[in-house]
Structure 1
Amino acid sequence: MTKGLNQKLKMLYLKDIFEKETDDDHCLSLAEIMDKLQARGVNADRKTLYADFQELRHYGLDIINSNCGRGCVYHLGNRTFKLPELKLLVDSVQAARFISDKKSKELIDKLGQLVSDDQADSLKRQVVLTGRVKTMNRSVYPTVDKLHQAINQHIQVRFHYMKWDTQKNLVPRNGGNWFQVSPWLMILSDENYYLAAYYAPSREIRHYRVDKIKNLQLLPDQPQQGHPAFRKLNIARYADTHFGMFNGQRTPVEIKVSNEKVGIFIDRFGKDIMLIPAGPTAVATTIPVEVSDQFLGWIMALGEGVEITGPQWVRDRMREAGLRLLKEYE
C-alpha cells in the first residue's frame, strides 16, 4: 500500500475524527473512517486500523465498537466532559453578568470543541438570548487574571473604580484618585464578580465589583496587608452573610420565621442554622450577618411571616426604613 502525503499525521487525524465526528448517537464504519483518512491525504487498510485503534485505546481514548447490521461501527465513548455537564457550563456562562456578550459567545464556542460537531450544535441551540444585562467592560478577564496574580504573590494593587453617571457614562469615583488595597478573595455573588480586599486607611474589608475596576496596577514592592482581619473570616460562609457585597455592622440577628418560609433561610444560610420552635406555625433562628440596607431590603422582600426580633438596634433600623418608605409613598 502506497503512503499518503500526510501519513505521519494518521494517528492525529484518527483522534480528530473520533472526537469531532462520532459520539453515542453517531458511529462510523471502518470503510467510512478509511474514506475520511484518504480525504486528509492518509492511506490505511483494515489491518493497520485495528492496531491503530488499540494504540489510541492505550493512549486513553474510549473507542467503542458495536455491531450495526452486517458490519461493525466505531465511536468515541467517554470524554472529559459529558454533554449534560457542558450544558450546565453553557448555562452558567450565559447567566454570568460579569462576562460580556462577546466573551460569552467565545467561551461557548470553545466548550463546543470538547464534544462532537453534532453535540456542539445542540449546545449552540441551547443558547437563548434573553436580553439579560451583561457587563460592557471587556477587560474583565485580564483584570481577574491580574487580581489572582496579586493574591498569589501577596502584594497590593491600585486601580480606578468606576460608576455610572446620568449620561450613562462610566466615570471614576473618588475624583479620579487611585484606590489602593490588599486583595485577598475573589467572590461570585448575586451574578457579579467581587474583589474582597483590605483597605488600610479605615482598617476594614471592602468589596469592589470587578467589572467596575479599570487601569489595574500591581504593586510588587508593597506587601499585602490585613492578615488579622482575614484570619478571622469563615471564608466558606463569607458571601452568604454579605447581601449584595455591601458592608455593614456584623452581628447575630434573631429572626422569627413562619414554617412555610423556613426553606428560604436554609437555602441562603445552609442546613446548619439552628431552628427553634416558636409556636405552632413558626420557628426562631439566629444568623450572623452584615446589617446593611441591602439585608433589611431582603427581609422586607420576604413579606409577611418574617420578623426581626433582636437585637433592638436592628429592629429600630428596620422600623426607620419602613417609616421612610411610608413617607415616600404617602
Structure 2
Amino acid sequence: MAEGNNQKLKILYLLKILMEKTDETHSITMTEILSSLKLYGITAERKSIYSDMENLRTFGIDIIGEKENKTYYYHIGNRQFELAELKLLVDSVQAAKFLTAKKSRELIKKIEGLASKYEASKLQRQVYTAERIKTANENIYYNVDQIHMAIGSNVQITFQYFNWDVNKRQVLRKDGALYRVSPWALSWDDENYYLVAFDSEEDKIKHFRVDKMLHIELAKEHREGDERFRQFDMGAYARKMFGMFDGEEEMVKILCRNYLAGVMIDRFGKDVTMVKRDEDSFYVNVKVAVSGQFLAWVIALGEGAKIVGPESVVHRMKKEIERLARQYSEE
C-alpha cells in the first residue's frame, strides 16, 4: 500500500497500536506511538496525534493520558471485554465438546485479538489445560448456521444422522435415510450442542446432537409444531432430560436426606417443590424423562436418595439394580 494511502488510515492504525500495545498496566509514550506509526509507513506530527486521540475519545474509546516525570503515557482504559470475561470465553470454548480442536484454536486466537498483547499472553496460558474430548465433525459451524437459517426462514430441514461404531467409524442411522424435522431451538447441554425439533411423523418433540448431523439441507415446506412450541420451556425440557437421554415422562417422587437439598436445587431449579418428611429428610416431586441415565443419577446419590413413586418407576429401578448385580457378579 502506498504511503499516501497509509496516511489516510492514520487514525485507524493509531487505534490498532493503542489496543495492541496498551492496557491498564501497560502504557506507551508519544515517541513510541510515532515510531510505531512509522512501521506502517505513516509519518505524523504530535499535534495531529492529539487531535486523533480526541476524535477517538469522542467516538467512545477510553484513551487515558497520565503525566509522569514530565512525560505523558497513554493507554486504553475500559475495553469492550474485561480480561476476566475473555478468560471465561476462552474456557467456554475449550470446554465445548461440540467444537473441534481446530475450531477451538481458531476461536481462541480471535478472542485474543480483543485484548492487548500482554493480556493475550495470559489468555494463551489459559489454553494449556488438561486434554478435553472434542468432536471430530468439522462441519459444526456449518450445521449451526444452517439450523439458524432454517429457523429464521421458518422451514423444515433434512439431514443424515450417525453413530460411532467400535472401529471409530461413522455409521449412518436408518441406513442413511434422511431425517426430516422442523427445527425450533438449539440447546447447549451436557457439554454438547443439541437441536430441538418437531417430528411430524411421530408427532413429538425430539432432540439431535448437532455434531452428529450430516448434510443439512433447508426444505421448502414450512415448519410444523408451532402449537407445541408456543408453550415450550427450553429450560424445563433440559432439566427433565438426563444427559439428553429420552424416556417416558413421569412425575417421580424421591425421598432425600437433607444434605441433598442443594443437589436438587442445582438440578431442578429453586422452584422445585421440597416437602419436609421429618427432621432429617424431605420429598421432591419432579417431572423427568425416566431413562437409564436418570436411574444412574439417582443411584450415584447413594443412600441419600430413594425413588418412592410411582410404583412403575420403583419397579424399573429394582430391575436396573438386579441387572447391575448380575453384570458385576459374572466372571
Question: Normalising by the residue count of structure 1, what TM-score does the alignment of the two structures yield?
Answer: 0.95
Aligned-residue offset at 1:313? 1.0
1:29 alignment counterpart: 29
- Identity, % of aligned pairs? 43
1:187 alignment counterpart: 187
Alignment-mate amino acid for residue 285 of structure 1: V
**Matched residues in 2 for 1:40 and 1:211: separation?**
43
Distance 1:4 1:35, change over 3 A: farther
What do you get for the CA RMSD once the two structures are aligned? Answer: 1.5
Q: Secondary structure at the match of 2:136?
A: coil
1:80 alignment counterpart: 80
**Matched residues in 2 for 1:326 and 1:264: separation?**
26
Q: Secondary structure at the match of 2:224?
A: coil
Alignment-mate amino acid for residue 176 of structure 2: G
2:40 alignment counterpart: 40
2:99 alignment counterpart: 99
1:318 alignment counterpart: 317
Question: Normalising by the residue count of structure 2, what TM-score does the alignment of the two structures yield?
Answer: 0.95
| Number of aligned positions between the proteins | 327
Correspondence 1:211-290 to 2 at 5 A = 211-220=211-220, 222-290=221-289
* 8 A contact 1:5–1:42 mirrored in 2: no
Aligned-residue offset at 1:129? 4.4
Aligned-residue offset at 1:57? 0.4
1:167 alignment counterpart: 167
Aligned-residue offset at 1:4? 6.9
2:66 alignment counterpart: 66
Aligned-residue offset at 1:148? 1.1
**Matched residues in 2 for 1:29 and 1:231: separation?**
58
Aligned-residue offset at 1:264? 0.8
Aligned-residue offset at 1:40? 2.2
* 8 A contact 1:277–1:284 mirrored in 2: yes
Aligned-residue offset at 1:118? 1.3
**Matched residues in 2 for 1:128 and 1:263: separation?**
32
Alignment-mate amino acid for residue 97 of structure 1: K
Aligned-residue offset at 1:67? 2.2
1:90-149 Cα distance to aligned partner (Å, 9 max, x none): 000000000000000000000011111111111111102422210000001101110111
1:276-305 Cα distance to aligned partner (Å, 9 max, x none): 211111111111111111111111111111
Alignment-mate amino acid for residue 158 of structure 1: T
Aligned-residue offset at 1:81? 0.7
* 8 A contact 1:146–1:218 mirrored in 2: yes
Q: Secondary structure at the match of 2:272?
A: coil
* 8 A contact 1:207–1:246 mirrored in 2: no
**Dislocated runs of 4+, deviation >3 Å:** none
The answer to whether structure 1 residue 10 and structure 2 residue 10 are counterparts is yes
* 8 A contact 1:4–1:43 mirrored in 2: no
The answer to whether structure 1 residue 155 and structure 2 residue 155 are counterparts is yes
